[in-house]
């Protein structure tokens, strides 16, 4: 798929079939994640992959996350803040990785939704507890994926009112 087409047609998918995401598809998505830009190329990220339904089920009670029970492949983007070179940029680094994953998934026909974790303290604590994440690592965002069981139309959100030319 052409890049512009992929980013103009991507939507958050929240219902999935029980067909698995193949190892090849997982690799493409994780390669895209780690190819993201990051401040000073620090790459402060780690990724926890989840495909055990019993583990995934433990994230269905966070509020509005019941649908995760259908997800066959989830990735928790985490940050080792000690790897930063310029302090403070890590959420932007991890967001770049997360968005790359969303677009790569869409490109290969995998449906994905970003589930907020950081800066919600309760969700961060749940991730730590369920997955044994050490205190030095920040759980950042959950990307829930699977073979889509819904088709959402593209949305065109371009808004002239948000453009400012040469001055505000
Ligand atoms: C930082 C961030 C946090 C999000 N958190 C959630 C979430 O916790 N639960 C959820 O269902 N969707 C979540 N989303 C998805 C948004 O709701 C979705 O991107 C937005 O409604 C626009 O729809 P679209 O992705 O289909 O274009 C999140 C997206 C972002 C970028």
Report all structural domains of the chain as residue ranges with CATH numbers, in order of start: 3-148 (3.40.109.10)
Rounded CA separation 112/9 (Å): 13
pLDDT tens for residues 152-166?
999 999 999 999 999
Q: Ligand 1: which residues within 6 Å by Cβ?
A: 11-12, 14, 64, 113-116, 155
Mutate to test the pocket of ligand 1, among 115, 123, 152, 158 (most ligand atoms within 8 A of CB): 115
The total number of residues written for the chain in this structure = 168
Residue 86 CB: number of other CB atoms within 10 A? 11
* Ligand 1, atom nearest to 155 Cα: 27
Rounded CA separation 13/112 (Å): 5
Q: Quick check: pTM over 0.85?
A: yes
Q: What percent of the chain shows pLDDT beyond 70?
A: 99
* Ligand 1, atom nearest to 67 Cα: 11
- How far CA 164 is from CA of 43, 148, 160, in Å, comes to 32, 38, 9
Q: Strands of 22-164 (E only): list them.
A: 45-50, 73-80, 111-116, 137-146
Measure 167 CA to ligand 1 centroid, in angstroms: 31
For the segment 54-77, the average pLDDT, to the nearest whole number, is 98
Per-residue model confidence (pLDDT) at position 143: 98
Q: Categorise residue 43: left if φ over 0, alpha if ψ from -120 to 50, beta otherwise.
A: left
Mutate to test the pocket of ligand 1, among 99, 116, 120 (most ligand atoms within 8 A of CB): 116
Residues 6+ apart with CB under 8 A from 112: 12, 13, 101, 102, 105, 106, 143, 144, 145
For the segment 103-112, the average pLDDT, to the nearest whole number, is 98
**Three-class secondary structure of residue 133 per DSSP:** coil
For the segment 87-98, the average pLDDT, to the nearest whole number, is 98
CA torsion through residues 25, 68, 93, 137, sign: negative
Measure 114 CA to ligand 1 centroid, in angstroms: 5
Q: How far apart are the first and last CA of the chain?
A: 36
pLDDT tens for residues 11-30?
999 999 999 999 999 999 99
Query: Does the structure show a pLDDT above 70 at 1?
Result: no
Supply the DSSP string of 136-158, one letter for each residue.
TEEEEEEEEEESBS---------
């Amino acid at each position: 798929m052409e890049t512009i087409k992929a980013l103009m047609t991507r939507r958050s998918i929240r219902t999935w079939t029980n067909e698995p995401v193949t190892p090849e598809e997982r690799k493409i998505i994780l390669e895209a994640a780690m190819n993201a830009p990051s401040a000073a190329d620090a790459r402060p990220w780690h990724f926890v992959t989840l495909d055990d339904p019993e583990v995934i089920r433990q994230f269905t009670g966070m509020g509005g996350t019941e649908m995760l029970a259908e997800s066959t492949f989830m990735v928790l983007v985490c940050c080792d803040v000690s790897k930063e070179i310029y302090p403070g940029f890590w959420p932007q680094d991890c967001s770049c990785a997360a968005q790359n994953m969303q677009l790569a998934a869409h490109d290969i026909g995998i449906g994905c939704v970003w589930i907020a974790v950081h800066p919600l303290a309760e969700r961060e604590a749940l991730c730590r507890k369920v997955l044994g994440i050490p205190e030095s690592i920040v759980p950042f965002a959950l990307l829930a994926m699977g073979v889509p069981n819904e088709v959402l139309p593209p949305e065109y959100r371009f808004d002239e009112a948000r453009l400012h030319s040469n001055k505000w």
